[in-house]
Amino acid sequence: DSGVTQTPKHLITATGQRVTLRCSPRSGDLSVYWYQQSLDQGLQFLIQYYNGEERAKGNILERFSAQQFPDLHSELNLSSLELGDSALYFCASSAGGGNTGELFFGEGSRLTVL
Amino acid sequence: DQQVKQNSPSLSVQEGRISILNCDYTNSMFDYFLWYKKYPAEGPTFLISISSIKDKNEDGRFTVFLNKSAKHLSLHIVPSQPGDSAVYFCAASPGAQKLVFGQGTRLTINP
């Protein structure tokens, strides 16, 4: 158990819809990262938040947005969903804002867009 | 642009032998490298890391080698055990912010 909690574990929805994925980081961790893993792909970095502020941005689509709340949990919002958005979405956390240490990953949220 | 590449999607090794997983990178700004291991239905877990100031780091059965001139790193597992069967991701960082991951190599240890 990494200490990172992601909900929901599985989600099935239709094209054009909007979903929200939730992540609770390990106790005390200030950084939250979101990664996307599509079929046969590596983990693609989407975005990082540190203590409520956006710290780094990766290949995140404009239809996607995220935020980190004062209690440090984070939400990833995916809108106008397309078939290609079907993927595993991982949240990870770390203690600091830099990324020279290990990340602790949740079990992922599997999104299926039909 | 795939900055971190794991060119072998899969690898099969006999139990007790050495497993060697390879990773290449293109960004010379990367100065910290990590390996993660992932079992089905679980998130990746950290395995071992190496800083660019070193060329080798060892932790029990796991050793990571870094060849900066070739922009290549490898993970050696000796001896390989059935529990090592998993997907292994190589990752690299430019010292801050995001980790860039490779596509992963599925390692199967055969009894």
- Rounded Cα distance between B106 and A10, Å, is 23
Give which of A95, A103, A94, A92 is closest to A36, Cα–Cα: A92
Q: For residue A95, what pLDDT is reported? A: 81
The residue type of B62 is F
**Is the dihedral angle over the CA atoms B64, B65, B67, B68 positive or is it negative?**
positive
Q: For residue B1, what pLDDT is reported? A: 66
Note the pLDDT tens digit of each residue in B15-35. 999 999 999 999 999 989 999
Check CB contact under 8 Å for B101 and A43: yes
Which residue intervals of A7-66 are DSSP H helices?
Answer: none
* Higher-confidence position of B2 and A3: A3
Q: How many CB atoms lie within 10 A of CB B40?
A: 6
B105 → chain A, closest CA residue: A42
Residue A41 pLDDT grade (very low, low, confident, very high; cuts 50, 70, 90): confident
Check CB contact under 8 Å for B101 and A44: yes
- CA B17 vs. chain centroid, Å, equals 17
CB B98 within 8 A of CB A99: yes
- Rounded Cα distance between A48 and B99, Å, is 10
Q: For residue B25, what pLDDT is reported? A: 96
Shortest CB distance from B43 goes to which of A42, A56, A90?
A90
Check CB contact under 8 Å for B103 and A40: yes
**Which pair of tokens denotes residue A30?**
């200030």
Mark out chain A residues that contact chain B at CB-CB < 8 A. 2, 4, 33, 35, 40-45, 48, 55-56, 58, 90, 92, 97-100, 102-108
> How big is the A-B interface in CB pairs under 8 Å?
64
Q: For residue A98, what pLDDT is reported? A: 61
Q: Which of B10, B99, B100, B101 to mutate to test the interface with A (most CBs of A within 10 A)?
A: B99
Check CB contact under 8 Å for A103 and B99: yes
Please give, rounded to a whole number of angstroms, the shortest distance from the CA of A103 to a CA of chain B. Answer: 7
CB B94 within 8 A of CB B33: no
Length of chain B as a residue count: 111
Q: Which chain B residues are within 8 Å of A35, Cβ to Cβ?
A: 101
Q: For residue A101, what pLDDT is reported? A: 65
Residue A97 pLDDT grade (very low, low, confident, very high; cuts 50, 70, 90): low
Give which of A32, A8, A35 is closest to B43, Cα–Cα: A35
Q: For residue A59, what pLDDT is reported? A: 83
Give which of B109, B111, B100, B108 is closest to B6, Cα–Cα: B100
Please give, rounded to a whole number of angstroms, the shortest distance from the CA of A17 to a CA of chain B. Answer: 25
Note the pLDDT tens digit of each residue in B43-102. 999 999 999 999 999 999 999 999 999 999 999 999 999 999 999 999 998 865 578 899
- CA B75 vs. chain centroid, Å, equals 5
Q: What is the DSSP string of B8-44?
A: -SEEEEETTS-EEEEEEE--TT--EEEEEEE-TTS--
